[in-house]
Amino acid sequence: MRQAFDACNRLGRVMTVRLSEAYLNLKLDELHRRTSSRSRSRRKGRSQAVAGGTAGAAEAGAGDPRRARQDRKGAQALRGGAQ
Give 14-73 pLDDT, tens digit per residue. Answer: 888 899 999 999 999 999 999 887 777 777 777 777 666 554 444 555 566 666 666 666
- Cβ atoms of residues 50 and 56 within 8 Å: yes
How far apart CA 35 and CA 49 sit, in angstroms, is 21
Of 15, 23, 12, nearest in space to 2 by CA: 23
**Per-residue pLDDT, 73:** 67
Global confidence as pTM: 0.43
